[in-house]
Structure 1
Amino acid sequence: MGIETYAGRVALVTGASSGIGAAIVQALLRKGLKVVGLARRVDRVKALELKDAPGKLYAIEGDVSNEESVLSAFKWIRENLSGVDILINNAGLGNDCNLTTGKTQDWKRILDVNVLGLSICTREAVQDMLRRGVDDGFIIHVSSIVAHNPPIAAYLSMYTASKHAVKTLLEGLRKDLVARKSKIRVGEVSPGAVRTEFLTNFDGLPPNVYDTIPCLESEDVAEAVVYMLSQHPRVQVHDVIIYPTGSS
């Protein structure tokens, strides 16, 4: 048994317009899944379609920090595709904000997307699976290596805290599903630096920052997601930690 058992099933990928999310969308399309890409930049999601892939892409405009937007997306999926079988919580952000001078609105934006948005999507996906009797569903969070370490810099404190929250929420979800005697599996991928738009959003970092440090590519994270989905139903890979070779 492998990921081919999910061929024709529905996977929702948040933050699908670029970087890791885009790579995951295309990896799942190649495996024959129906992939719903959710992002604010919906035109960029539409451009991810692979004409030679057996899967089918559905692009939905949405913002995970807005609950009404999330609920609308899940409603569309229920009405048009029956429901979500796999959820990849990839949407996430960070910004320059330390704990002594940071702006509340910047802290709130991180928590709204990385923690609350992830939790709302998770709740809706699990409830949808339980309602339809789906017992082989999968929830995967795209986390970060910082979820396993203290902040490496003051300006990353809130972002690091958000990823520690993701790790805690994942274990809470696993215990919740065990208590329900559900076989829905959960896991997270925790990569180090990945060559995406993420670090370029920080004002204090040079535009060529990715040329100065060891980096992963988005496809490396997508392959980890495929690996998790490919395991036998008795195997729940809870966390895949990926360091770029040579990183400190």
Structure 2
Amino acid sequence: MRLCRPKSNRGQQSSAMGIERYAGRVAMVTGASSGIGAAITQALLRKGLTVVGLARRVDRVKALALKDAPGKLHAIQCDVSNEESILAAFKWVKGNLKGVDILINNAGVGNDADLITGKTEDWKRILDVNVLGLSICTREAVQDMMTKGIDDGVIIHISSDLGHMSPPAGNIAMYIASKHMVKTLLDGLRKDLAKKKSKIRVGEISPGPVKTEFASNFKQFNPEMLKLIPLHESEDVAEIVICMLSQDPRLQVHDVIMHPTGSAH
């Protein structure tokens, strides 16, 4: 099966199979100010969606607006490690845009805090954003969708291929553990929704290393080293988001694992 297949020629059915079904509807993107989040935000704007970009650096989100794109951008300042900040963002969306139809959980942090000498605050930061923040955003989005009676909503977690393997080094084990948790939370969410007879779709994208400023959080990924390894572009991940949203509602793409061409790990 081709993930990004061309539109079918089955008359009226074809429109239900493309991302066009979400034109004008509300997609929330966390961590939208740079890298993967910025690329996803602009890709959705080009497809005509109303995008709510959440980030601490709200001016950088505002700068992503595209004059020639049919979609509309709303930039909201939000710290995903803070529950009050998340709830305030969802309250604004519900009051002004009637709630969320799509959630892209992209916000993530990482660091080199190892398991023997690492600082508790560094571990906590990873878990607060990558696990708890993602879970709070997911809970609020699902409740929004159910309140609105939306049965074709979509939630996508941006994870990592590291969430499918053992840590190559102890200094990034806490970060990798958080991505394993994301995978487990996704499985649990899918089962919860199925139990409730909901047709809200969920999935995750697990890319390999991406050419973004995120890599600078890890000492081992210095600029010279990054020149020597294959990397994804942020737009590669954004394209997979569009592909997942373009599928017929009967199809739930649960996990897409990405590797840059030439990668050996």
* Partner residue of 1:51 out of 67, 73, 77: 67
d(CA) in 2 for partners of 1:241, 1:202: 22
* Partner residue of 2:149 out of 130, 133, 138: 133
Summarize deviations over 1:150-182 as a string: whole Å, max 9, x none.
001111100000000000000000000000000
Shift of 1:132: 1.0
For 1:1-248, list aligned pairs within 5 A. Answer: 1-248=17-264
Summarize deviations over 1:116-164 as a string: whole Å, max 9, x none.
0000000000011111111000000000000100001111100000000
Summarize deviations over 1:2-55 as a string: whole Å, max 9, x none.
100000000000000000000000000000000000000000000000000000
Corresponding residue SS for 1:177: helix
d(CA) in 1 for partners of 2:35, 2:50: 20
d(CA) in 2 for partners of 1:204, 1:170: 29
Structure possessing the higher radius of gyration over alpha carbons: 2
Shift of 1:209: 3.1
Corresponding residue SS for 2:52: strand
d(CA) in 2 for partners of 1:93, 1:49: 24
Shift of 1:205: 3.3
Shift of 1:108: 0.3
d(CA) in 2 for partners of 1:93, 1:136: 29
d(CA) in 1 for partners of 2:32, 2:157: 13
d(CA) in 2 for partners of 1:145, 1:208: 22
Summarize deviations over 1:77-116 as a string: whole Å, max 9, x none.
0010010000000000100111011110000000000000
TM-score (norm 1): 0.99
Amino acid of the structure 2 residue aligned with 1:209: M
d(CA) in 2 for partners of 1:209, 1:18: 22
TM-score (norm 2): 0.92
Shift of 1:203: 3.0
Shift of 1:201: 1.7
Which stretch shifts more, 151-160 or 136-145? 151-160
d(CA) in 2 for partners of 1:210, 1:4: 37
Long gaps (5+) in structure 1:
none
d(CA) in 1 for partners of 2:224, 2:32: 24
Amino acid of the structure 2 residue aligned with 1:68: E
- The runs of at least 4 consecutive aligned structure 1 residues that moved more than 4 Å come to none
Amino acid of the structure 2 residue aligned with 1:129: M
Residue identity (%): 74
d(CA) in 1 for partners of 2:251, 2:149: 20
Shift of 1:199: 1.0
Corresponding residue SS for 1:194: coil
d(CA) in 1 for partners of 2:259, 2:24: 32
d(CA) in 2 for partners of 1:104, 1:207: 27
